Amino acid sequence: MPAKIESERSSSLKVTTIIPAAGRGERMKIKKVSKQYLPLGGRPILVHTLLVFEKCPFVEEIILAIGETEIDCCQRDIVKRFGLRKVKRVVVGGERRQDSVYNALKMVREDCHIVLIHDSVRPFITREIIQRTIEETKVHKAVATAVPVTDTIKEGNGLGFVERTLNRDRLWSIQTPQGFEINLIKEACSRAQEENFYGTDEASLVERIGHPVKVIEGSHENIKITTPEDLIIAEAILRERGSGS
Ligand code: C5P
């Protein structure tokens, strides 16, 4: 590792990445295998995602949350096979994404200052976005990556008609990674669990306890592979990038 990067890493605050990967991927319409294990360019999607964080000098450790029955195979066929040395713990995920993150948060190393949370099925995350997320988290304590919305978004009235049209200029399509100061995200998650509140991302848990969340620009390539069509797009992005890693 070049000396400059090494010194930047050692002088920085300790960063842990949590990858919730315990979803069953029902929208992929494939019953046998969860979407994070589907092959993309010959490797499971999850491996692509993990390798970006593994190779990122600003990340100290990775905690992976997966399904209870997948622990042994994941350790053998993913963590060992692909030499993922930063994956320090593989924890059992929960019923919902937020439960999986909560389980992982309990296992974060004691000297951790910043937690990044990243969907297992966003393999096109880049080191540059990770670095910017960390830098902004040092300043703002809570950061969400996002891209501006390009579609017109309307709110329905529940009866198949439009209630109103939202002002697109102020809308963001939220992505991951999201970055948080450790004590803030622990408090936000604990409060949400105690109060039985479930959000679709971790930033919403921080918002509800009154802390501002900074939005920073992500990337349109950082797609969440959710449907069979997303997998076709993902193969195209991978080809365009010209590598299988
Ligand atoms: O369900 P959704 O597409 O929002 O999932 C986003 C991420 O959360 C995926 O990486 C998925 O594996 C993970 N997840 C989880 N535990 C659950 C549900 C989803 O770790 N119970």
User: Which domains occur in the chain, in start order?
Assistant: 3-241 (3.90.550.10)
- Rounded Cα gap, residues 181 and 179, in angstroms: 7
Query: pLDDT digits over 169-223, tens only?
Result: 999 999 999 999 999 999 999 999 999 999 999 999 999 999 999 999 999 999 9
Q: Alpha-carbon torsion 171, 175, 177, 180, what sign?
A: positive
Question: Which comes out higher in pLDDT, residue 7 or 143?
Answer: 143
The pair of structure tokens assigned to 177 is: 């990674």
Confidence of residue 11 (pLDDT cuts 50, 70, 90): low
List pLDDT tens digits, range 85-134. Answer: 999 999 999 999 999 999 999 999 999 999 999 999 999 999 999 999 99
Q: Ligand 1 centroid to 217 CA: how many Å? A: 22
Q: Is the minimum distance from the CB of 225 to ligand 1 under 6 angstroms? A: no
Task: Indicate whether residue 23 lines ligand 1 (CB < 6 A).
Answer: yes
**Ligand 1: residue whose CA is nearest its atom 3:** 226
* Distance of CA 120 from the midpoint of ligand 1 (Å): 8
| Cβ burial, residue 243 (10 Å; 0-12/13-18/19+) | exposed
**Nearby residues of 133 by Cβ (< 8 Å), 6 or more positions away:** 116, 143, 145, 177, 178, 179, 216
- Mean pLDDT, the chain, rounded, equals 93
Q: Is the Cβ atom of 202 under 6 angstroms away from ligand 1?
A: no
| Protein residue closest via CA to atom 7 of ligand 1 | 119
Distance 140 CA to ligand 1 centre (A): 26
Over 50: is that where the pLDDT of 10 sits?
no
| CA 177 – ligand 1 centroid, Å | 13
Cβ–ligand 1 contact at 97 (below 6 Å) = yes
In the structure, what pLDDT confidence band is assigned to residue 33 with cuts at 50, 70 and 90?
confident
CB 78 within 8 A of CB 150: no
**Distance (Å, rounded) from C-alpha 84 to C-alpha 231?**
24
